């Protein structure tokens, strides 16, 4: 396999080298792309985050990109966007805890990204202001958010336009919300009986949310004329987000053997819906870079072996492929060695070994060029997954069709500010 001449090698220590490689990559990806995904091989990879920042900066400065969307709560992302626009909280520290989910506000690379965006937007010569979005569902690993804050956003919108209508919906919805702590009980992850997602109140709340969505849609001409299209579309999307969240809570209350796969599938479908909405917001302004774990952005079906259980679902990238076609392209990331994350040298013959054997220390590689391995894909060994970072998944032969490009890094440290890994 002669891939050396096809790889775009660069060094993150050299801004010139990195920018030249990004420019080359963009020229090869082509014009139809409206949404470009960059996947991370694991959560907590410092150099991948640095690459993301460098990539986004170059895409903004030279290639017409206007926004970045990351794997963080959609509703929380509004706070970060306000900050990069020069509004909202006065300092990053004041904004970060509430503005990011999953503790991602603690990562220094995220601080650097956000501060660069804020500085860029403060320059009057930059006529197109760049925007920040979260596109994750309002869920954490061990629980899901209460739908209260999302629904109150919609209720506030309707009330501002029609006080009587807003009060009527609020009187029906507020009593059904109950306590946030009951919705957000971490014990529900392992014990479906602890979930209130299938309670009579939750069932009635789902009905009321459908009525709320119908109200918004029926009165679209009126609401758009009074609030503007942007605010209207935002309110509708928040109502849809509440629908997704209530569906997630309902499945949390199920005792089915498919419960976990369904939860994972709902989360990713919600991610895709959020990205479709974000794309609609940015259309006419510029293109979007989406950043998340490889498993969310890949185009094929996801499989996760957890102990004796195998979970399967359709990730966000598969939905985006179906909806956007060539307008969606995705780069998956590959790591050779990461002592900090407990990842040793890849075994000979694995994709990680083949891809990182080329000149580096970093390189972009088109999967179309690697697919000459297709005749022997079934025989490709899969790298050992032994690691102290549970978010790492080795590549498989399927990765060659899951991603349009791969970026392979020789070495990877652990994120500055990230939570301590279990030893």
292 and 395 share one domain: yes
Q: CA-to-CA distance for 271 and 289, rounded, in angstroms? A: 14
Handedness of CA 244, 252, 297, 96 (dihedral sign): positive
DSSP code of residue 265: H
Q: H/E element holding 80?
A: helix 74-84
Return the pLDDT at 349: 87
Q: According to the model, what pLDDT value does residue 5 have?
A: 61
Residue 324 sits in the same domain as residue 407: yes
Average pLDDT over residues 61-67: 97
CA quadruple 229, 234, 236, 237: dihedral, nearest 10: 140
**Do 112 and 161 share a structural domain?**
no
Confidence at residue 377, expressed as pLDDT on a 0 to 100 scale: 52
Question: Are 93 and 178 in a shared domain?
Answer: no
Q: Which residue has the higher pLDDT, 392 or 385?
A: 392
Query: Do residues 242 and 388 share a domain?
Result: no
One domain, residues 212 and 244: yes
What average pLDDT does the segment 127-135 reach?
98
Given this model, what pLDDT does residue 421 score?
78
**Residue 125 lies inside a defined structural domain of this protein:** yes
- Residues 343 and 422: their CA atoms lie apart, in Å, by 14
Indicate whether 378 pLDDT > 60.
no
Assess whether pLDDT exceeds 70 at residue 1: no
Domain annotation covers residue 167: yes
Same domain, 328 and 371: yes
Helix, coil or strand: residue 90:
coil
Please state whether beta strands 287-293 and 65-73 pair in parallel, antiparallel, or not at all (unpaired): parallel
Instruction: Provide the CATH number for the domain around residue 283.
Output: 3.40.50.11550
**Claim: this prediction has a pTM higher than 0.85:** yes
Residue 370 has pLDDT above 90, yes or no: no
Do 241 and 323 belong to one domain? no
Evaluate if residue 423 carries a pLDDT over 70.
no
Across 116-126, average pLDDT: 97
Residue whose tokens read 């109200």: 215
pLDDT at 376: 52
Is 419 within a domain?
A: no
Give the residue-averaged pLDDT of 171-181.
97
How many residues make up the chain in this entry? 423
- The predicted structure's pLDDT at residue 306: 83
Angle, alpha carbons 41-45-51 (nearest 5°): 90
DSSP annotation of 397 reads T
* Structural domain contains residue 191: no
Please give the tally of structural domains in the chain: 2
pLDDT tens track for 209-236: 999 999 999 999 999 999 999 999 999 9
Q: Give the integer Cα–Cα distance in Å for 278 and 136.
A: 12
The domain in which residue 295 lies consists of 8-141+269-411
Residue 188 maps to a domain: no
Q: For the purposes of burial, counting CB atoms within 10 Å of the CB of 335, is it exposed (0-12), middle (13-18) or buried (19 or more)?
A: buried
Residue (of 135, 151, 168, 174) closest to 277 by Cα position: 135
Look at residue 262 and tell me if it is in a domain: no
Q: Is 180 or 307 the better-scoring residue by pLDDT?
A: 180
* Least confident piece of the model among 49-63, 186-200, 339-353, 365-379: 365-379
Residues 207 and 71 in one domain: no
Percentage of residues of the chain with pLDDT beyond 70: 97
Partnered with residue 411 across adjacent β-strands are 337
* DSSP output for 28-75: HH-TT-SEEEEEESSTTBHHHHHHHHHHHHHHHHHS-EEEEEEEEEHH
Task: Output the average pLDDT for the chain.
Answer: 94
Tokens of 358: 């080329």
Residues 244, 296, single domain; the answer is no
- Treating both helix axes as pointing N-terminal to C-terminal, what angle do 316-324 and 259-282 enclose, rounded to 10 degrees? 40
Distance, in Å, from the CA atom of 396 to the CA atom of 3, rounded to the nearest integer, reads 18
- Nearest residue to 29 (alpha-carbon basis) of 293, 361, 374, 405: 405
Does 208 lie in the same domain as 178? Answer: yes
Look at residue 111 and tell me if it is in a domain: yes
Per-residue pLDDT, averaged over 144-157, amounts to 97
The whole-angstrom separation of Cα 240 and Cα 271 is 12
Q: Categorize the per-residue pLDDT at 4 as very low, low, confident or very high, splitting at 50, 70 and 90.
A: low
Question: Are 101 and 237 contained in the same domain?
Answer: no
In a domain, 299, yes or no: yes
Give the pLDDT confidence of 261-293 residue by residue, as tens digits.
999 999 999 999 999 999 999 999 999 999 999
pLDDT band at 422 (very low <50, low <70, confident <90, very high): low
Q: Convert the pLDDT of each residue in 314-357 to its tens digit.
A: 999 999 999 999 999 999 999 999 999 999 999 998 999 989 99
What is the rounded average pLDDT of the residues 126-151?
A: 95
């Amino acid at each position: 396999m002669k891939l050396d001449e096809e790889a775009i090698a660069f060094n993150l220590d050299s801004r010139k080298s990195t920018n030249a490689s990004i420019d080359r990559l963009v020229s090869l990806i082509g014009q139809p792309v409206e949404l470009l995904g960059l996947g991370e091989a694991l959560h907590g990879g410092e150099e991948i985050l640095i690459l993301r920042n460098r990539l986004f900066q170059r895409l903004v400065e030279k290639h017409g990109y206007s926004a970045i969307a990351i794997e963080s709560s959609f509703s929380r992302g509004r706070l970060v966007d306000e900050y990069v626009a020069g509004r909202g909280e006065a300092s990053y520290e004041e904004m970060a805890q509430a503005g990011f989910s999953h503790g991602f506000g603690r990562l220094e690379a995220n601080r650097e990204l956000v501060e660069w965006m804020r500085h860029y937007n403060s320059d009057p010569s930059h006529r197109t202001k760049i925007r920040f979005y979260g596109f994750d569902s309002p869920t954490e690993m061990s629980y899901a958010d209460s739908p209260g804050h999302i629904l109150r956003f919609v209720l506030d919108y309707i009330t501002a336009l029609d006080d009587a209508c807003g009060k009527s919906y609020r009187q029906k919805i507020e009593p059904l919300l109950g306590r946030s702590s009951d919705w957000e009980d971490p014990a529900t992850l392992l014990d479906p009986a602890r979930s209130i997602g299938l309670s009579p109140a939750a069932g009635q709340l789902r009905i009321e949310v459908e009525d709320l969505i119908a109200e918004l849609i029926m009165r679209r001409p009126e609401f758009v004329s009074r609030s503007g299209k942007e605010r209207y579309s935002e309110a509708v999307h928040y109502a849809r987000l509440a629908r997704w969240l209530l569906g997630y809570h309902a499945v949390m209350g199920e005792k089915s053997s498919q419960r976990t796969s369904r939860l994972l599938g709902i989360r990713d479908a919600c991610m895709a819906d959020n990205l479709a909405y974000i794309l609609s917001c940015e259309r006419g302004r510029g293109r979007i870079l989406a950043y998340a774990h490889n498993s969310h952005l890949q185009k094929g079906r996801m499989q996760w072996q957890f102990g004796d259980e195998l979970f399967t679902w359709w990730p966000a990238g598969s939905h985006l492929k179906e909806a956007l076609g060539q307008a969606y392209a995705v780069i998956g990331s590959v790591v050779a060695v990461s002592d900090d994350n407990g990842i040793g040298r890849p075994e000979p013959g694995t994709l990680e070994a083949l891809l990182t054997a080329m000149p580096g220390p970093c390189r972009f590689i088109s999967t179309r060029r690697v697919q000459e391995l297709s005749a022997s894909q079934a025989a490709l060994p899969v790298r050992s997954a032994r690691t102290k970072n549970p978010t790492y998944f080795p590549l498989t032969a399927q990765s060659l069709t899951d991603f349009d490009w791969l970026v392979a890094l020789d070495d990877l440290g652990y994120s500055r500010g990230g939570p301590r890994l279990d030893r």
